[in-house]
Structure 1
Amino acid sequence: MIKTRLFIARHGKTMFNTIGRAQGWSDTPLTQEGERGIEELGLGLKAAGLHFVAAYSSDSGRTLQTMEIILRELAQENIPYKRDKRIREWCFGSLDGGYDAELFNGVLPRVFDKPVEELAYKDMADAIIAVDTAGWAESWEVLRNRILSGFTDIAKEVESHGGGDAIVVSHGMTIGTLMGLIDPSLPRSLALDNGSICQVTYEDGQFHIDAIGDMSYRQKGRKILEEEVHERA
């Protein structure tokens, strides 16, 4: 029986990532460094012999741009590709675009009067709602349900077509939330790097974590690019 596996990538490094701003549902494009990092990822996935049967991303510009680069480097631009707004990043409401340090080390800890490291995802969602003056932020129930249903439906669709490997591009906190929902014993902050891979297997209606924050594909791709530069020199 063919397994159903999701290779979930965090999007490439963006302008806001570079200057330390929280993006949420706001968006900025990948930087030149971010594009190169995803080229590394695509090349590393190809070198590992991976062949994807389908592709999925959130509907944010940074994930669409990331997926375009991955599929190009894999030479798999023509595989089935869908966008799903349920695997978007968390919405920070009126705090979207604010500095990370102010949001995560200032505003949110003050709501519960404890360090951000001690806040669970539910605490963070509650804190964001408490300080969001626009009324756009999502409750924990809405967040967990949309994230879990989004990834579950993706896995079910791949499984219904015979299984295999699918590439998925999403966002740091969204991916971290999924990992925590699969395995509640994991620490809340996984610090997933841009272009890292979290790999999960979907079997008998359940997710099983195979890897978290795997940077080996990017590292392999970087070596390939460096060798190409050396050969041209």
Structure 2
Amino acid sequence: MTERTTGTEAAEEAVQRTPEELAALAGGRALVLRLVRHAETVYNTQHVMQGWSDSPITELGHEQIAAVAERLAGERFDLAFSSDLPRTRTTAEGILARQSPVPPTEYTEVLREWHFGSHEERPSREVWSEVIVDHGLEVDRELSALRSIADRIGWAGLFDSVARLDASGQAEQAAAIVLRADTALAHVVQAAAALPGDDAAQVLVVSHGGFISSLLRQLVPGTAPDVILPNCSVTTVALAAGSTAWELRGIGETA
């Protein structure tokens, strides 16, 4: 059965778990998570802040979906979860079209990208320029300036600056994203643990670059905070039977 759920209320009430606590939710069951970023969109090519907004998948994006679907065609997925935004839904449907049988699939708001509030659909350079000016640095040295700010306040602090400069007050702060990522992971792990049998559970998760990085840092805290995942790349995290330690088996791999 395919269903859609919303989850902002649950995320607001969540308490961040440690990687070991998330692993314990598996009840000793082995688990493999395939985390897939959505295909390339028009906003990706235009370097526009996308967040909860959406734009069409490009011709290259459709080729990426076909390639990742081919790569994963030999996998047996017991469950699938996807952000409910069109770009992730289309990517997930392309992958699942190569699966037989198609696993139970859930499309959920909890797996959406970071919400950028009034910065949505703005050129990313404009937004980052405002952050740089706000911290008293020179805009013409954008990349080094952003790294300098991140060195001082961390990458979470950098995105909190984006939220603070959002006039609408709707942009998500890093702490809220962490809690939403925790909620999403707990739900996925518990659903996998509830599957009949005791074989390793294979789970597909289709989401967004920024949010997958947030999911990954919840499970493997040492992951570089500024990692950029390519469109339709596959990141694999596994949990051995009876273990409380997550293993990063591959990050940002493309077909």
What's the TM-score, normalizing by structure 2?
Answer: 0.76
SS in 1 for 2:228: coil
SS in 1 for 2:98: helix
> Which of the residues 109, 112, 122 maps onto 1:88?
112
Q: 2:147 aligned with 1:109, yes or no?
A: no
Residue 45 of structure 2 is matched in structure 1 by 18
Q: 2:218 aligned with 1:181, yes or no?
A: yes
Count of matched residue positions in the alignment of Structure 1 and Structure 2: 212
> Which of the residues 147, 171, 180 maps onto 1:146?
180
RMSD over aligned Cα atoms:
2.0
> Which of the residues 44, 56, 70 maps onto 2:95?
70
Structure 1: distance between partners of 2:187 and 2:245: 12
Deviation of the 1:18 alpha carbon: 1.5
Contact 1:89 1:172 in 2 (8 A): yes
Structure 2: distance between partners of 1:39 and 1:66: 9
Structure 1: distance between partners of 2:29 and 2:118: 45
Q: 2:233 aligned with 1:196, yes or no?
A: yes
**Residues 125-153 of structure 1: CA deviation (Å, up to 9, x unaligned):** 32022110111111222110001220232
Q: Compared with structure 1, are the counterparts of its residues 147 and 173 closer, same or farther at alpha carbon in structure 2 (3 Å cutoff)?
A: same
Residue identity matched to 2:207:
S
Residue identity matched to 1:213:
G
What's the TM-score, normalizing by structure 1?
Answer: 0.83
Residue identity matched to 1:117:
R
Which consecutive residues of structure 1, in runs of 5 or more, have no partner in the other structure? 219-233
Question: What percent identity do the matched residue pairs reach?
Answer: 26
Residue 57 of structure 1 is matched in structure 2 by 82
Structure 1: distance between partners of 2:247 and 2:207: 18
| Higher helix fraction (1 or 2) | 1
Q: 2:225 aligned with 1:213, yes or no?
A: no
Contact 2:127 2:162 in 1 (8 A): no
Structure 1: distance between partners of 2:173 and 2:227: 21
Q: Compared with structure 1, are the counterparts of its residues 186 and 79 closer, same or farther at alpha carbon in structure 2 (3 Å cutoff)?
A: closer
Residue 62 of structure 2 is matched in structure 1 by 35
Residue 14 of structure 2 is matched in structure 1 by none
